[in-house]
Amino acid sequence: MLKRTHYSSELSPDMDGTEVVLAGWVHSIRALGKLIFVILRDREGMVQIVAPKQKVGEELFKKIKSLGAEDVIAVRGKVIANEKAPNGFEILPLEVEILNRAVRPLPLDPAEKVPAELDTRLENRFLDLRRPKVQAIFKIRHEMLKSVRNTLYKEGFIEVNTPKLVASATEGGTELFPISYFEKEAFLGQSPQLYKQMLMASGLDRVFEIAPIFRAEEHNTRRHLNEATSIDIEMAFSDDKDAMDMLEKVVYNACKDVYENREKELNILNYKLEVPPKKFDKITYDEAIEIAKKKGVEIEWGDDLSREAEKAIGEEMGGFYFIIDWPIEIRPFYTMPKDDEYCKAFDLMYKDLEISSGAQRIHLYDLLLNNIKNKGLNPDAFQYYLEAFKYGMPPHAGWGLGADRFTMVLTGQENIRECVLFPRDRHRLTP
């Protein structure tokens, strides 16, 4: 097999005369009598290969002519500067290796100009991913994950992995996928919440995890999946404000890194990402409700924010902003109260999309046990968790940031399925 020397993006007109080996897919092929044009596509872009019969010889010409769309090839050739070629150069082929032929017709054409239906694209996702627009989303997602990890490493967080096979619910409720675990019933984890809190009693001090969360909600919206990826942190000796400061750092750095390092991909997506200010606005839950009411949304104090409310508030606020000081009743049992009515919880929104929820947590055993009972949950199901609060649990806070939703923000996508390689929703379990 010819050994690749360059990606397409590493070539330029000033390499005129240099011999290189490229590898990739036949994006398109056009034969004009004694001249063939092949566009070769690799991960980094496209390159034009021009084969004049009289220069490449009868045999190589015939081989190139036999190529079809999406065949996998390696090409040894010479860089030829040419003002008229795309990017100012083309490749004169000296040797072509056909590594694998593609069956045609293709179920989905990666070179297709007209966009196919999302369902068809997801059915043939590996082909869909060959399209530069689709690949750009996942390169930006990768940049975001890298940036998030770098920020958290720098801030002294330890990366952990907690079980996804669990014996009981995180927060009660019915959003769990039951599975059979030998002779026992078990569930897929809906959140690492209880584990990351237990780790606060371990002395690891600051932990984070980037892992799947499973939610058996029946909803079929453009921002919900049944398997999502959550970026979760928990920090000891910290309160809700510390957790929000950390979230601002993580989100700001990710936006900046994508903006600075993924200009090409943002251009391919035709998306103007704005780097936010370092500090985000904060409004209280009460203020959020007032905004929604003012805009004609029917909502009462104590209601969770409906879709209509989120839209109204997002319209008024724009960009990234926190909603803080939530009523105790609509937040989970482990949330630290602020007074009799409100708790130290927050949501981070981007326009009308919730991308993160967090809080200072309760670290006091008696209060926690009381809350579990008050929410109608069975304390026995939380036995192992509760134990961790008896023998020296420091105050702590944290959040969960949806990686898929954050990718929507960074790439300007309206549908979360665009931001996940193989999405799992109400109807889709394959591929």
From the list 130, 206, 405, 417, the catalytic residue is: 405
Beta strands across the sheet bearing 184-188: 165-166, 184-188, 178-181
Candidate list 223, 331, 363, 396, residue with the active-site label = 223
Closer residue to ligand ATP, CB minimum distance, 335 or 356: 356
Catalytic-labelled residue, pool 224, 424, 426, 428: 224
248 binds, among ligand ATP, Mg ion, none (CB under 5 to 8 A by kind): none
How distant is the alpha carbon of residue 312 from its chain centre? Answer: 25
CA distances in angstroms from 156 to 28, 144, 236, listed in the order given: 49, 18, 12
Cβ proximity to ligand ATP: between 6 and 424 the closer is 424
328 binds, among ligand ATP, Mg ion, none (CB under 5 to 8 A by kind): none
Q: Smallest gap, in angstroms, from Cβ of residue 171 to ligand ATP?
A: 8
Whether 215 sits among the annotated catalytic residues: the reply is yes
Nearest approach, Cβ of residue 198 and ligand ATP (Å): 18
- Closest approach of Cβ 158 to ligand ATP, in Å? 21
Report CA-CA distances (Å) from 16 to 84, 254, 295, 351, 427.
Answer: 14, 38, 63, 49, 53
> Within a 10 A sphere around the Cβ of 156, how many other Cβ atoms?
9
Which listed residue (354, 424, 426, 428) is catalytic? 354
Contact 333, 376 (CB under 8 A): no
Q: Is 19 a catalytic residue?
A: no
- Amino acid found at 270: N
Considering the complex, state which of residue 226 and residue 357 has its C-beta at the smaller distance from Mg ion: 357
Binding residues for ligand ATP, rule: CB under 6 A, are 215, 224-225, 228, 230, 354-357, 400, 402, 404-405, 416
Contact between 245 and 239 (Cβ < 8 Å): no
CA distance 219 to 294: 28
Interface with Mg ion, residue 357, by CB under 5 A: yes
**164 and 431 Cβ atoms separated by less than 8 Å:** no
In the complex with ligand ATP, the residue whose CB is nearer, 151 or 356, is 356
Residue 356 binds which of ligand ATP, Mg ion, none (CB < 5-8 A, kind-dependent): ligand ATP
- Minimum distance, C-beta of residue 78 to ligand ATP, in the bound complex (Å): 49
198 binds, among Mg ion, ligand ATP, none (CB under 5 to 8 A by kind): none
The smaller minimum CB distance to ligand ATP, of residues 173 and 337, is found at 173
Q: Taking Cα atoms as reference points, which of 155, 175, 8 lies closest to residue 77?
A: 8
Q: DSSP assignment, residue 337? A: B
Catalytic residue among 76, 215, 262, 361: 215
Catalytic residue list contains 159: no
Q: Does 193 bind Mg ion (CB under 5 A)?
A: no
Q: Which helix (H) or strand (E) holds 132?
A: helix 132-154
CB of 224 to Mg ion, least distance (A): 12
- Shortest spacing between CB 69 and Mg ion, in angstroms: 45
Rounded to whole angstroms, what are the CA distances from 150 to 237, 365, 406?
22, 34, 16
Active site residue 209: no
Q: What are phi and psi of 102, to 5 degrees?
A: -100, 140
Answer whether 40's CB lies under 8 Å from 22's CB: yes
Q: Which is nearer to Mg ion, 8 or 357 (CB)?
A: 357
Burial of 2 (0-12, 13-18, 19+ CB in 10 A): middle
Which CB, 357 or 360, lies closer to Mg ion? Answer: 357
Non-local CB neighbours of 369 within 8 Å, separated by 6+ positions = 379, 386
Q: Does 230 bind Mg ion (CB under 5 A)?
A: no
Nearest distance from C-beta of residue 400 to Mg ion, angstroms: 8
* 357 included as an active-site residue: yes
The entry of ligand ATP, Mg ion, none that residue 400 binds, CB within 5 to 8 Å by partner kind: ligand ATP
| Residue positions annotated with a catalytic role | 215, 217, 223-224, 354, 357, 405
Residues that bind Mg ion (CB under 5 A): 357
